[in-house]
């Protein structure tokens, strides 16, 4: 009907009053985008955009609420949305709006503009994308322009704000331009300047703090890109500003100058917050204080990157750089960061505190020449793989460290670096040394360390990998100019420290199984020079030369881990106090722990059962306490980075499958068995479980690894894994416990839950897969009734 009304009344009308009063509220009006939305003189009114977008303006409170999905693309001499000073702009829950200011031959117009203070709020699952207009000659418009006032903005956890300046042949517009800034960001905020000839030519986020301090807080992620990423200053050009980052992740990229430009002012990054600043000339122009994480990089940034490919907030356990062709800054690589600079003939990767571990993740590099510059301590549990190609090479340099371990899910160890037979090692500059160590024998078993060379004075060297090398470590340090003789010690198969001549050095071997052996000194050809007394720790008198030590012990395979009961079909899924099973209810983390605890066989329970728990958020004596403690002791459960287990949180499908595969680790070779797990951290576990027939996908073929698993789905997985599979209701027995929410045999989960919630004895049917019950009342598990 709205479209019919437009045809009848003419598209040339920019504002058509419908002359209809909403009951007890304001007028309703239909607004054409070319006119923008100027509310500086408007009375109470609700505007309609498209099919379901509404913009409700209440003059008494100066509040504009955007609901539904709407779009404003202004033309002529119009800003996208113009509000009076002191206004509030609210994007309602589940609303999604785009706003763009008009272009111009001279100075273009802002997407959102206020002469005075503005309060902006983005609700849950809502988004606001605003852009300034493009300009042919001078300045592009700002995405958000707040002149002469403060901008107070709050973005919800699932909300997002994107503000992009307009392009111009002279100077692009600002992403966000304001006076004093107070941003509480629990979601995602992107602020990018406009471009000139495909290069950023302005400031992503520009704040005039005046005498105050602009602040960024919350738990979300803020990305700012431009000629300068973030600039904070007092009134007047050149006066230092003040910025305080209280929380979240802030990434500022300056393509031409600095990531953060403070005119020498102070940036305070508090504990729990992180700031990554990348600039063509320097990371941060200004002083830095506070206890948070601060990363600074100086890098030549390509002119043709954009907001979609410059930064990837990597959540996968794997860092795959084989298909990245633009300069890309990877953040949150398990607590560190990575700057990737691909080139036509060589590629450079800078790592700072990057840690890839668990779930079979590692680093994938393209074929050809690759260099890794190391800052801080870096580790990759699944090693580094170079794509297949000719003349593959890898050079390691920098002043940090790198630890590589290559392992497969079933515990088989392979070389930590795949795709090249050796690695070139270079100290960063004269005065530094680099030590390289490769090891053979499983980590924690055997512990035979094979030290590589010690490279000094900026010289390089090369380490050639052997088939039985299971890990590799590289570290750098600055030499003591007064000493020139060093010892590389080996502790349990790992490289130790560098010590000057004539120093007595304690050398330790850690072996929890109490095995003994002997320390041997070897020459460069691996021949024994001297054997020392049998001991796991001793003090070694330094000779006047480099030496090689290793602890010679017999390899002993790892002891088997915990196992599940397969012969006895006990109860592992208990009902709630109201007698229900709640098949479609979400399974919590403590309920998952209780399920697997109920199924531990006697030997595993005797070995691992404990009431000493590593998690600070579990109350001793609670119904799930012993189960969680026991499974954690067996290495089956892990907490988060803060040492919490979060017992009441839901379990995802990927997490549940991962726990199961820890009982029977294995590997899978072949194409992914589901289309939506390609870069997921649990990809290996999911593929392996699917190959064993333990899990199935949805009707569309997906697995949906991050969705919450239901109680019925959890039971289905375990029944397949443990071969607890009645074929029909005839395979059950009368007299079993009946649950009021599991009485319909037509439900897909009916037999699954009957199997999980009733103790019984059984016999295997002739097909070798299904079972028939023979007797009720097998031993009950020790599980809690609320399971």
Choice between 409 and 234, residue whose per-residue pLDDT is larger: 234
Is pLDDT above 60 for 620? Answer: yes
- Given a cut of 50, whether residue 450 has pLDDT beyond it is no
The residue among 140 and 452 whose pLDDT is bigger is 140
Per mean pLDDT, which range of 40-49, 331-340, 545-554, 663-672 is the poorest?
Answer: 545-554
Indicate the domain borders of the chain.
60-310, 328-552, 589-651+708-776
pLDDT of residue 360 exceeding 50, the answer is yes
Residue 490 in this model has a pLDDT that exceeds 60: no
DSSP three-state, residue 632:
helix
Q: Using one digit for the tens of pLDDT, what is the confidence trace for 31-64? A: 667 889 999 999 999 999 988 999 999 999 999 9
Does the global pTM surpass 0.85? no
Quote the CA–CA distance of 467 and 333 in Å, as a whole number: 29
Residue 597 CB contacts under 8 Å (≥ 6 apart), including other chains: 626, 627, 630, 631, 782, 783
- Dump pLDDT digits (tens) for 132-184: 999 987 889 999 999 999 999 999 999 999 999 999 988 999 999 999 999 99
pLDDT band at 756 (very low <50, low <70, confident <90, very high): very high
229 vs 200: CA distance, rounded Å: 10
Span 270-299, pLDDT tens digits: 998 989 998 888 899 999 999 888 888 887
**Span 641-664, average pLDDT:** 88
CA 88, chain centre distance (Å) = 33
- For the segment 208-243, what is each residue's pLDDT rounded down to a tens digit? 988 899 999 999 989 999 999 999 998 766 688 999
DSSP 716-734: HHHHHHHT--B-SGGGS-T
- Find the distance separating the first CA and the last CA of the chain, reported in whole Å: 54
Determine the average pLDDT of the residues in 432-454: 53
Greatest alpha-carbon pair distance for the chain in Å reads 101
Closest by Cα among 144, 28, 32, 128 to 82: 144
* Lowest model confidence (mean pLDDT) among 44-58, 121-135, 382-396, 594-608: 382-396
Residues 597 and 603: their CA atoms lie apart, in Å, by 12
Least confident of 330-339, 344-353, 708-717: 330-339
Secondary structure (3-state) at 211: coil
Q: Return the pLDDT at 411.
A: 65
Higher pLDDT, 503 or 237: 237
């Amino acid at each position: 009907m709205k479209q019919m009304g437009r045809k009848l009344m003419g598209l040339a009308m920019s504002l058509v009053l419908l002359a209809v009063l909403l009951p007890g509220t304001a007028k309703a009006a239909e607004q054409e985008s070319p006119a923008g939305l100027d509310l500086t003189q408007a009375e109470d009114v609700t505007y309609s955009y498209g099919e379901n977008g509404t913009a409700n303006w209440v003059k008494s409170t100066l509040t504009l609420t955007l609901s539904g999905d709407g779009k404003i693309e202004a033309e002529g001499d119009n800003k996208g949305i113009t509000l009076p000073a002191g206004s509030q702009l609210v994007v309602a829950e589940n609303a999604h709006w785009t706003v763009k200011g008009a272009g111009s031959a001279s100075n273009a117009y802002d997407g959102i503009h206020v002469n005075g203070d503005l309060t902006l709020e983005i609700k849950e699952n809502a988004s606001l994308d605003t852009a300034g207009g493009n300009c042919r000659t001078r300045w592009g418009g700002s995405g958000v322009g707040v002149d002469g006032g403060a901008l107070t903005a709050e973005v919800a956890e699932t909300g997002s704000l994107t503000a992009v300046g307009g392009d111009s042949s002279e100077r692009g517009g600002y992403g966000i331009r304001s006076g004093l800034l107070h941003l509480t960001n629990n979601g995602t905020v992107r602020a990018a300047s406009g471009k000139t000839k495909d290069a950023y030519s302005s400031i992503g986020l520009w704040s005039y703090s005046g005498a105050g301090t602009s602040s960024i807080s919350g738990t979300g992620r803020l990305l700012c890109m431009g000629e300068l990423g973030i600039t904070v200053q007092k009134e007047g050009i050149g006066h230092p500003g003040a910025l305080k980052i209280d929380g979240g992740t802030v990434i500022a990229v300056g393509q031409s100058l600095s990531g953060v430009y403070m005119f020498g002012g102070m940036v305070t990054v508090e504990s729990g917050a992180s700031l990554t600043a990348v600039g063509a000339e320097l990371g941060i122009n200004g002083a830095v204080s506070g206890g948070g994480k601060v990363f600074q990089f100086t890098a030549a940034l390509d002119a043709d990157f954009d907001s979609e490919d410059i930064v990837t907030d990597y959540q996968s356990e794997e860092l795959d750089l084989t298909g990245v062709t633009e300069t890309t800054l990877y953040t949150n690589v398990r607590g560190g960061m990575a700057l990737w600079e691909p080139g036509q003939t060589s590629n450079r990767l800078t790592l700072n505190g990057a840690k890839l571990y668990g779930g079979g993740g590692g680093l994938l590099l393209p074929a050809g020449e690759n260099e890794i510059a190391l800052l801080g301590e870096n580790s990759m549990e699944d090693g580094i793989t170079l794509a297949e190609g000719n003349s593959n090479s890898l050079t390691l340099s920098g002043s940090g460290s790198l630890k590589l371990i290559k392992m497969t899910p079933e515990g088989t160890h392979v070389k930590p670096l795949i795709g090249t037979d050796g690695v070139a090692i270079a100290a960063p500059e004269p005065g530094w040394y680099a030590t390289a160590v490769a090891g053979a024998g499983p980590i924690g078993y055997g512990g035979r360390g094979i030290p590589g060379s010690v490279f000094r004075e900026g010289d390089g060297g090369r380490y050639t990998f052997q088939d039985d090398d299971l890990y590799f470590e590289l570290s750098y340090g600055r030499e003591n100019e007064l000493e020139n003789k060093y010892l590389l010690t080996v502790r349990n198969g790992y490289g130790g420290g560098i010590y000057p001549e004539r120093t007595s050095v304690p050398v330790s071997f850690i072996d929890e199984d109490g095995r003994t052996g002997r320390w041997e000194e070897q020459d460069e050809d691996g021949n024994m020079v001297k054997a020392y007394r049998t001991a796991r720790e001793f003090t070694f008198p330094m000779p006047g030369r480099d030496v090689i030590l290793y602890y010679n012990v017999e390899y002993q395979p790892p002891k088997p881990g915990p196992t599940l009961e397969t012969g006895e079909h006990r109860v592992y899924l208990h009902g709630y106090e109201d007698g229900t099973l709640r098949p479609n209810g979400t399974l919590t983390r403590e309920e998952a722990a209780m399920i697997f605890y109920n199924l531990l066989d006697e030997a595993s329970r005797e070995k691992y059962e404990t009431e000493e728990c590593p998690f600070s958020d579990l109350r001793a004596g609670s119904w799930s306490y012993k189960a969680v403690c026991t499974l954690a002791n067996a290495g089956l459960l892990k907490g988060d980075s803060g040492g919490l287990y979060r017992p009441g949180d839901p379990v995802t499908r990927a997490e549940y499958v991962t726990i199961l595969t820890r009982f029977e680790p294995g590997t899978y070779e072949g194409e992914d068995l589901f289309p939506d797990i390609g870069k997921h951290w649990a990809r290996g576990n999911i593929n392996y479980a699917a190959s064993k027939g333990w899990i199935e996908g949805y009707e569309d073929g997906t697995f949906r690894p991050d969705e919450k698993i239901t109680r019925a789905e959890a039971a289905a997985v375990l029944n397949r894994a443990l071969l607890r599979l009645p074929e029909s209701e005839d395979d059950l027995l009368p007299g079993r416990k009946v649950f009021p929410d599991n009485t319909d045999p037509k439900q897909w989960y009916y037999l699954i839950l009957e199997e999980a919630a009733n103790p019984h004895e059984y016999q295997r049917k002739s097909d070798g897969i299904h079972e028939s019950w023979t007797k009720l009342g097998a031993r009950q598990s020790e599980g809690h009734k609320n399971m």
